[in-house]
């Protein structure tokens, strides 16, 4: 009873603060107490906050569900128009514009504030009063700092504003950490699940119930799925959910002890997701569905993680991906780790029965080449080390409660309408690709594995403009009759079928990896080259920008994730020639996701091994042989220090068949056995893989 009274009093106090904040924000546009250029800035921020109050009321009284399609579209556009590409250059969210208005030193924190206020969109639709309130009060606190300085006919120092932002993050990270962990492991957080399962999916107004940006991609995707026969929808959903179930089976993990699965998807795929959630329910798994990051606590990234709508402006995400540079220090890192530990401890029972993510990716958007802005926040070298330290320790905390050896995942990908005029045709082609003959590929790939297992190392060489020249050292098989180096990967965790992979031995792995053009995590890399010595990156470069310094910085930030070096965590041979030919047929090679691109040639992952945090779980191929190459010299350090064993990243870089001159295995006796020559499989038993080329 006492706790109930306390909660009611807390709620009443929050509601009172909520109303007072709105009232005060409503006065800002009419006040003249702050001099230009800041008067216009705060008027604009107040205008956006008041739009959020209007949105809150629109959702709260049910008008959202009564509105016409035209009204919903108009309101949706208004929420995001400030950062759309055509308006972004005059938005305070653009650090370049903020720097022009206020100078770089003050422009950065004020641009951050502008971006952080956008987190209220999600809060308004989810009716989270606390998430709305903390951002409203942050705006008022920063505004008050300017009013206090104005009394002395001055402006506050940028450092003072940074301090306000620091304590905002520090004070609310405990609540944010609890919310983040809860959204991952608690099916009761069912905001998106209710939209998927309860909406009339033939009435496309439901697309606007999330509060995400909605474009023609989401509308046309939903329309196309409505046109598909029920058996096709079931096939798509069954492939997705069976991949998840089989992932547990082939990894020798017990799915029966799991109670929840994290479902990630793009808006527009609800018809498939509804069928998938019903499938998961039949195997005892309830969905957890969280929104992709929209604020400093969740993290903003071009590469979306969760459920998401259209991206109104990827440059906005790129500009604000390192906003923590404004205040990150060792004390804040410790605070965040402590809060994360406490959050997982609070939900440890739910975390223990969480099975892992089931991801639906999309592809087909126009390639994004970011602009590197000097005005955007960037981590210092000291902060980069702190960021790496945090990611490493946070990964260890998560693995303590959601054990790697007990969880699994699956990923499937489909195109969106932006891919081109033949969208429906391409979509249907990828339904076929995602459901290729499992048994046919398993047999062919076993032939490749049997040959690779005879080798001491593998040679990979490019052709034409490709300068790749690599030697991949394989682990020694002590009992070849019972052991293998390569996993026979068909259609389970990584859909579609088509690869054999291993974690190579680092000592003896050396050479240059080069690709003329590749897209990694939605970012383009031109003529990227990476040199390895004993399996570790020693040099890297690309030609995206005019200077070598900019190019190396781009790779370090977005591929190495601020690490000094990374190991080769995986070597694989992609066998899905059908996907490769379809991509060439429709001219969509530059739009293929890593998930599918990695199946269209040999690929090399930099970062953790394929078996990260689950190396001790014994793995077996369908032929009964144990896959012994689950570790490398770096991951073996986990017994001493997890921070040295794991990098918490794994990025696949693929050499397409038309850039591949040779892939051969070399035995200890010096025999060279070609598997691929000039982009075609030449190993006996693999002839069927070349049929797609014809």
The string of DSSP letters for 454-475 reads TEEEEEEEE-TT---EEEEEPP
The DSSP annotation for 516-538 comes to EEEEETTEEEEEEEEEEETTEEE
Buried b (16+ CB within 10 A) or exposed e, 260-279: bbbbbbbbbbbbbbbbbbeb
Task: Please tell me whether residues 142 and 196 are part of one structural domain.
Answer: no
- Provide the residue count of the chain: 694
What digits encode the pLDDT tens for the residues 183-209? 999 999 999 999 999 999 999 999 999
Task: Please tell me whether residues 395 and 498 are part of one structural domain.
Answer: no
Number of domains, the chain:
3
> What integer pLDDT is reported at residue 614 of this predicted model?
83
- Whether 648 and 608 have beta carbons less than 8 Å apart is answered as yes
DSSP H helical segments within 598-654, as ranges?
Answer: 642-645
- Whether 259 and 285 have beta carbons less than 8 Å apart is answered as yes
4-8, 273-277, 290-294, 384-388: lowest mean pLDDT where? Answer: 4-8
Q: Is the predicted pLDDT of residue 80 greater than 90, yes or no? A: yes
What 3-state DSSP class applies to 497?
Answer: coil
Q: Is the predicted pLDDT of residue 117 greater than 90, yes or no? A: yes
As a whole number of angstroms, the distance between CA 34 and CA 40 comes to 9
Task: Please tell me whether residues 235 and 296 are part of one structural domain.
Answer: yes
Task: Please tell me whether residues 104 and 198 are part of one structural domain.
Answer: no
> Which distant-in-sequence residues (6+ apart) come within 8 Å of 263 by Cβ?
273, 276, 277, 280, 287, 288, 289, 307, 357, 358
- Whether 579 and 433 have beta carbons less than 8 Å apart is answered as yes
Task: Tell whether 170 is covered by a domain.
Answer: no
Give the highest mean pLDDT range of 616-630, 647-661, 663-677.
663-677
Task: Please tell me whether residues 368 and 248 are part of one structural domain.
Answer: yes
> What integer pLDDT is reported at residue 133 of this predicted model?
97
H or E element: which one contains 43? helix 38-60
What digits encode the pLDDT tens for the residues 30-62? 987 889 999 999 999 999 999 999 999 999 999
Task: Please tell me whether residues 144 and 244 are part of one structural domain.
Answer: no
What digits encode the pLDDT tens for the residues 527-562? 999 999 999 999 999 999 999 999 999 999 999 999
Task: Tell whether 340 is covered by a domain.
Answer: yes
Select from 475, 453, 408, 416 the least CA-distant residue to 612.
Answer: 408
Q: What is the mean pLDDT of residues 321-343?
A: 96
**What are phi and psi for residue 492, nearest 5 degrees?**
-125, -95
H or E element: which one contains 576? none
As a whole number of angstroms, the distance between CA 220 and CA 391 comes to 38
Task: Please tell me whether residues 494 and 629 are part of one structural domain.
Answer: yes
> What integer pLDDT is reported at residue 2 of this predicted model?
47
Task: Please tell me whether residues 443 and 342 are part of one structural domain.
Answer: no
- Whether 507 and 475 have beta carbons less than 8 Å apart is answered as no
Task: Tell whether 182 is covered by a domain.
Answer: no
Task: Tell whether 355 is covered by a domain.
Answer: yes
The DSSP symbol for 372 reads P
Task: Tell whether 260 is covered by a domain.
Answer: yes
> What integer pLDDT is reported at residue 419 of this predicted model?
95
As a whole number of angstroms, the distance between CA 272 and CA 266 comes to 11
Q: Share the mean pLDDT of the chain.
A: 94
Q: What is the mean pLDDT of residues 232-250?
A: 93
Helix, strand, coil abundance in the chain, percent, nearest 5 = 50, 20, 30
Q: What is the mean pLDDT of residues 590-613?
A: 88
Domain holding 223, by residue range, is: 191-401
Q: Is the predicted pLDDT of residue 522 greater than 80, yes or no? A: no
CA angle in degrees (0–180, nearest 5) for 128-129-135? 100
Buried b (16+ CB within 10 A) or exposed e, 447-473: bbbbbbbbbbbbbbbbbeebbbbbbbb
636 pLDDT band, cuts 50/70/90, is very high
Task: Please tell me whether residues 147 and 197 are part of one structural domain.
Answer: no
Task: Please tell me whether residues 388 and 440 are part of one structural domain.
Answer: no
> What integer pLDDT is reported at residue 648 of this predicted model?
87
Question: Domain ends where: 112, 140, 156?
Answer: 156
Task: Please tell me whether residues 146 and 235 are part of one structural domain.
Answer: no
Q: Is the predicted pLDDT of residue 28 greater than 80, yes or no? A: yes
- Whether 651 and 560 have beta carbons less than 8 Å apart is answered as no
Q: Is the predicted pLDDT of residue 1 greater than 70, yes or no? A: no
Task: Please tell me whether residues 207 and 95 are part of one structural domain.
Answer: no
Task: Tell whether 82 is covered by a domain.
Answer: yes
Percent of the chain with pLDDT over 90: 82
> What integer pLDDT is reported at residue 333 of this predicted model?
96
Q: What is the mean pLDDT of residues 471-491?
A: 93
As a whole number of angstroms, the distance between CA 10 and CA 17 comes to 11
What residues pair up with 502 in beta bridges, in sequence order? 571
> Which distant-in-sequence residues (6+ apart) come within 8 Å of 450 by Cβ?
none
> What integer pLDDT is reported at residue 503 of this predicted model?
96
> What integer pLDDT is reported at residue 252 of this predicted model?
82
Question: Domain ends where: 129, 156, 183?
Answer: 156
- Whether 656 and 676 have beta carbons less than 8 Å apart is answered as no
Distance separating the N- and C-terminal Cα atoms of the chain: 75
- Whether 635 and 425 have beta carbons less than 8 Å apart is answered as no
As a whole number of angstroms, the distance between CA 109 and CA 51 comes to 22
Q: What is the mean pLDDT of residues 78-103?
A: 98
Task: Tell whether 215 is covered by a domain.
Answer: yes
H or E element: which one contains 91? none
- Whether residue 37 has a cis bond before it, omega within 30° of 0: yes
393-402, 457-466, 504-513, 589-598: lowest mean pLDDT where? Answer: 589-598
As a whole number of angstroms, the distance between CA 67 and CA 276 comes to 29
- Whether 208 and 73 have beta carbons less than 8 Å apart is answered as yes
26 pLDDT band, cuts 50/70/90, is very high
Task: Tell whether 200 is covered by a domain.
Answer: yes
Question: Domain ends where: 344, 374, 401?
Answer: 401
Phi-psi category of residue 502: left, alpha or beta, with phi > 0 → left and psi -120 to 50 → alpha: beta
């Amino acid at each position: 009873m006492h706790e109930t009274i306390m909660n009611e009093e807390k709620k009443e106090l929050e509601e009172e603060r909520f109303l007072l904040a709105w009232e005060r924000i409503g006065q800002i546009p009419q006040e003249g107490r702050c001099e230009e250029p800041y008067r216009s800035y705060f008027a604009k921020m107040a205008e956006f906050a008041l739009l959020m109050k209007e949105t809150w009321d629109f959702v709260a009284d049910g008008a959202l569900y009564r509105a016409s399609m035209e009204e919903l579209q108009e309101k949706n556009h208004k929420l995001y128009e400030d950062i759309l590409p055509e308006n972004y250059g005059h938005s305070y969210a653009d650090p370049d514009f903020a720097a022009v208005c206020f100078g770089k030193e003050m422009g950065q924190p004020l641009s951050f504030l502008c971006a952080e206020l956008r987190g209220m969109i999600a809060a308004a639709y989810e009716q989270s009063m606390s998430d709305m309130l903390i951002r409203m009060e942050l705006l008022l606190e920063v505004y008050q700092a300017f009013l206090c300085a104005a009394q002395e006919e001055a402006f506050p120092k940028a450092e003072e504003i940074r301090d306000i932002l620091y304590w905002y993050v520090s004070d609310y990270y405990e609540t944010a950490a609890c919310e983040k962990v809860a959204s991952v492991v608690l099916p009761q957080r069912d905001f998106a699940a209710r939209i998927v399962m309860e909406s009339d999916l033939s009435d496309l107004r439901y697309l606007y119930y999330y509060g995400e940006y909605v474009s023609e991609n989401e509308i046309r995707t939903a329309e196309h799925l409505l046109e598909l026969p029920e058996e096709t929808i079931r096939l798509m959903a069954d492939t997705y959910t069976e991949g998840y179930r089989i992932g547990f089976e082939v990894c020798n993990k017990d799915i029966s002890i799991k109670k929840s699965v994290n479902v990630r998807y793009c808006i527009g795929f609800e018809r498939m997701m509804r069928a998938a959630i019903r499938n998961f329910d039949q195997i005892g798994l309830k969905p957890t569905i969280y929104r992709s990051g929209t604020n400093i606590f969740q993290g903003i990234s071009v590469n979306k993680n969760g459920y998401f709508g259209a991206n109104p402006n990827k440059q906005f995400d790129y500009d604000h991906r390192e906003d923590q540079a404004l205040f990150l220090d060792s004390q804040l890192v410790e605070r965040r780790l402590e809060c994360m530990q406490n959050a997982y401890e609070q939900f440890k029972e739910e975390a223990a029965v969480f099975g892992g993510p089931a991801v639906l990716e999309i592809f087909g958007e126009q390639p994004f080449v970011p602009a590197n802005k000097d005005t955007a926040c960037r981590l210092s070298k000291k902060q980069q080390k702190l960021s790496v330290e945090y990611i490493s320790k946070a990964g260890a905390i998560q693995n303590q409660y959601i054990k790697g050896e007990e969880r699994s995942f699956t990923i499937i990908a489909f195109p969106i309408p932006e891919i081109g005029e033949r969208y429906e045709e391409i979509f249907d082609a990828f339904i076929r690709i995602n459901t290729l003959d499992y048994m046919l590929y398993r047999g062919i790939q076993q032939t490749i594995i049997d040959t690779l297992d005879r080798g001491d190392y593998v040679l990979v060489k490019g052709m034409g403009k490709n300068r790749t020249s690599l030697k991949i050292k394989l682990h020694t098989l002590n009992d070849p009759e019972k052991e293998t180096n390569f996993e026979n990967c068909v259609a389970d965790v990584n859909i579609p079928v088509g690869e054999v992979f291993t974690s190579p031995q680092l000592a003896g792995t050396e050479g240059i990896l080069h690709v003329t053009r590749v897209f990694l995590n939605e970012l383009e890399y031109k003529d990227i080259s990476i040199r390895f010595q004993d399996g570790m990156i020693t040099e890297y470069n690309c030609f995206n920008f005019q200077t070598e310094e900019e190019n190396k910085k781009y790779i370090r930030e977005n591929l190495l994730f601020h690490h000094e070096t990374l190991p080769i965590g995986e070597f694989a041979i992609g066998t899905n020639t059908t996907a490769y030919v379809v991509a060439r047929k429709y001219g969509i090679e530059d739009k293929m996701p890593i998930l599918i691109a990695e199946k269209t040639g040999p690929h090399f992952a930099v970062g953790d091994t394929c078996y990260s945090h689950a190396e001790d779980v014994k793995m077996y191929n369908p032929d009964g042989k144990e896959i012994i190459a689950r570790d490398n010299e770096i991951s073996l350090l986990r017994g001493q220090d997890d921070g040295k064993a794991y990098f918490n990243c794994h990025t696949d870089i693929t050499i397409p068949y038309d850039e591949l001159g040779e892939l051969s295995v070399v035995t200890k006796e010096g025999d060279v056995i070609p598997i691929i020559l000039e982009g075609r499989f030449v190993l006996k038993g693999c002839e069927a893989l070349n049929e797609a080329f014809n």
